[in-house]
């Protein structure tokens, strides 16, 4: 939602709030005489001291930091605290600045009535602040999804190219063809690996999410097929720390970065030319892919993941699938190109 529209919503809310206070004030007096007199101005000032404190505490702090992150208990506890503070603040102004508390409310019942009344007013403003923030967030998410959907066809086509990279397919088939003559059992095993890989790409990636364990299995097959073209068993090192069971992830999320590593890695005779790490901690997954670069290689800023799916499209997909729940860092340091991607709060299966 555009900022001017949000400002108009806030202005409209406070105008309606002032009108309601004025209406209740004159209803309680039973007369419209003395319009905008001193008592009305004082009462309105007190209500505007209580209202904005609780409203914006909920709107700008409690809802985005606690309620949207499903920390409901903390949201309710802090919300009650905010209402209590707003009530105490307004009661203190009423009793200590303008009047003498002892002369107006000589008994504690008077103070309790004030605290309760202003506490209810703060709670009502907090509730309305929560509702308005929820509406603004909901509308903004719809607008974002519509904007991203307008470019989704381009992203999907690029992703399809990345999943069905013809160079990878042709090179793998050529390597298997060579193995058929010299090592038929190994060729048959790799052919089954390729068959399972293509089945995964054609069918399972149609789902919005798949088990993380299945995605890691696909990556393992992909790496194994890539290693056909080298006899160096230590060229690629892949590690998985933690238990992926029970978590879901968007399909083919990590593979463009791994494809990029194979594309720009140097001579396959080196040790640890590519290092891939998955660290799973609870519902958080950290992915790291590091590949060595040949001497004199062009800067990393010009590197694009394989098959034409660029960094912008990859970030766009992450923004769409994991808004505010991912961190991506890509760097080149001393002839190494590294990708660090962390996904937070992954859904469970």
Domain contains 135: yes
Contact 211, 247 (CB under 8 A): yes
Q: What was the pLDDT predicted at 106?
A: 45
130 in the same domain as 55: yes
Sign of the Cα torsion 333, 338, 342, 343 reads positive
For residues 258 and 165, what is the distance between their CA atoms, to the nearest angstrom? 13
Q: What was the pLDDT predicted at 164?
A: 52
90 in the same domain as 25: yes
Residue 167 has pLDDT above 60, yes or no: yes
Q: What was the pLDDT predicted at 173?
A: 78
Q: What is the pTM of this model?
A: 0.54
Look up residue 286 and give its two tokens. Answer: 């950290």
Min mean pLDDT across 24-33, 219-228, 300-309 is at: 300-309
Number of domains in the chain: 2
86 in the same domain as 114: yes
Residue 140 has pLDDT above 80, yes or no: no
Q: At 265, which CATH number?
A: 3.30.565.10
Note the pLDDT tens digit of each residue in 82-117: 999 988 888 887 776 555 444 444 444 456 777 888
Residue 225 has pLDDT above 80, yes or no: yes
Contact 67, 58 (CB under 8 A): no
Residue count (the chain): 349
Task: Transcribe 118-167 into DSSP letters.
Answer: HHHHHHHHHHHHHHHHHHHHHHHHHHHHHHHHTTHHHHHHHHHHHHT-HH
Q: What was the pLDDT predicted at 289?
A: 95
Task: Transcribe 280-316 into DSSP letters.
Answer: EETTEEEEEEEEE--TTPPPGGG---GGG--HHHHHH
Domain contains 349: no
252 in the same domain as 111: no
Within 10 angstroms of residue 236's Cβ, the number of other Cβ atoms is 22
245 in the same domain as 99: no
Parallel, antiparallel or unpaired: strands 326-332 and 336-343: antiparallel
Contact 89, 53 (CB under 8 A): yes
Residue 98: domain span: 3-149
Note the pLDDT tens digit of each residue in 267-278: 677 888 899 999
pLDDT band (50, 70, 90) for residue 27: confident
Read off the pLDDT of each residue in 319-332 and give the average, rounded to a whole number. 90
Q: In Å, how far are 62, 189, 221, 227 from 185, measured between CA atoms?
A: 62, 6, 17, 17
186 three-state secondary structure: helix
DSSP 93: I
Domain contains 348: no
Residue 37 has pLDDT above 60, yes or no: no
Note the pLDDT tens digit of each residue in 114-136: 788 888 989 999 999 999 998 88
User: Which single residue is written with the structure tokens 């319009």?
Assistant: 35
Mean pLDDT for the chain? 79
Which of residues 149, 179, 209 is at a domain's end?
149
Q: What was the pLDDT predicted at 156?
A: 58
pLDDT band (50, 70, 90) for residue 340: very high
Task: Give the residues across from 71 on adjacent strands.
Answer: none
Residue 237 has pLDDT above 90, yes or no: yes
Q: Residue 294 CA to chain centroid, in angstroms?
A: 35
């Amino acid at each position: 939602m555009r900022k001017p529209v949000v400002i108009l919503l806030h202005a409209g809310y406070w105008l309606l709030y002032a009108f309601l206070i004025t209406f209740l004030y004159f209803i309680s007096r039973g007369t419209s005489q003395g319009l905008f007199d001193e008592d009305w101005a004082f009462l309105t000032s007190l209500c505007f001291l209580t209202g904005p404190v609780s409203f914006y505490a909920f709107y700008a702090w409690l809802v985005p930091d606690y309620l949207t992150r499903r920390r409901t208990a903390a949201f309710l506890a802090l919300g009650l605290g905010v209402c209590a503070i707003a009530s105490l603040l307004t009661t203190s102004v009423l009793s200590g600045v303008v009047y003498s508390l002892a002369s107006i409310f000589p008994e504690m019942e008077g103070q309790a009535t004030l605290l309760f009344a202003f506490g209810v007013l703060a709670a009502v403003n907090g509730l309305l602040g929560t509702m308005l923030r929820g509406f603004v967030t909901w509308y903004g998410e719809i607008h974002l999804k519509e904007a991203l959907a307008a470019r989704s066809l381009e992203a999907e086509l690029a992703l399809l190219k990345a999943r069905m990279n013809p160079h990878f397919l042709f090179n793998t088939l050529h390597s298997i063809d060579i193995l058929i003559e010299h090592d038929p059992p190994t060729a048959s095993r790799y052919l089954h690996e390729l068959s399972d890989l293509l089945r995964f790409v054609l069918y399972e990636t149609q789902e919005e999410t798949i088990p993380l364990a299945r995605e890691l299995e696909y990556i393992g097959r992909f790496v194994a097929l890539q290693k056909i073209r080298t006899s160096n068993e230590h060229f690629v090192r892949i590690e998985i720390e933690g238990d992926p069971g029970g978590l879901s992830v968007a399909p083919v999320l990590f593979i463009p970065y791994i494809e990029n590593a194979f594309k720009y890695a140097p001579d396959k005779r080196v040790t640890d030319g590519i290092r891939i790490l998955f660290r799973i901690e609870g519902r958080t997954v950290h992915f790291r892919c590091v590949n060595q670069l040949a001497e004199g290689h062009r800067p990393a800023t010009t590197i694009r993941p394989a098959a034409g799916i660029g960094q912008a499209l990859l970030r766009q997909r992450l923004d769409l699938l994991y808004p505010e729940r991912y961190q991506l860092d890509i760097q080149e340091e001393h002839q190494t190109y590294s990708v660090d991607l962390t996904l937070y709060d992954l859904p469970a299966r």
